[in-house]
Amino acid sequence: MEVAASGEHSGVLRLTIVAWKEEGRTSLLRPLVHLLAASVVEVMSDAAGPVVLVPVPTSRRSRLARGADVVDQLARGAAGLLREAGADVTVRQALRVARRTADQSGLGARDRARNLDGAFTLRSAVGLADRDIVVVDDIVTTGATLGEAVRALRVAGHHPIGAATMAHRPRETR
């Protein structure tokens, strides 16, 4: 499964995402939406028909802390841009958080995967039939969050064609 990211989560892009996501700089949403839309276009090259974006679910704790479901906002903005360009793209909150997880920051790949194992489940299959599914998130670090979202969709009988994010965390050199 393809995972597309528009840039590396470092430098100016990292600072911009942090300002938008953690510091409430909502004016930065529009330029970030363009980055996600570009990543979705890359994944859509494998689509056979209409596309539905499925944002990774946000915990209640994160929604309260940030005042919004930032990944959902990002997905809806990207879908709107793509529709303006003529693409048949919708957004569905198909997944939900099934259980509480620990904060992911500071966890390595193995611990992130363990932390998220079984964390998501299908909320609703409405709008998924006869559409190519693209899972969306803001940043891909180890792939654990996207992997859990894909797992939950597959368990429910849906098979995403890929995932799209604004940025990927650079791999550490060893």
CATH number (domain holding residue 64): 3.40.50
Amino acid in the structure at residue 149: A
- Which candidate, 128, 142, 152, 132, places its Cα nearest to that of 56? 152
Is 78 a member of any domain? Answer: yes
How many structural domains are present in the chain? 1
The residue type found at 59 is: S
Which structural domain range is residue 47 located in? 2-168
pLDDT tens across the length of the chain (174 residues): 889 999 999 999 999 999 998 898 999 999 999 999 999 999 999 888 999 999 999 867 766 777 678 899 999 999 999 999 999 999 999 999 887 776 666 666 676 767 677 788 899 999 999 999 999 999 998 888 899 899 999 999 999 999 999 999 876 533
Does residue 21 sit within a domain?
yes
Report yes or no on 173 lying in a domain: no
Please indicate, yes or no, if residue 59 is contained in any of the structural domains.
Answer: yes
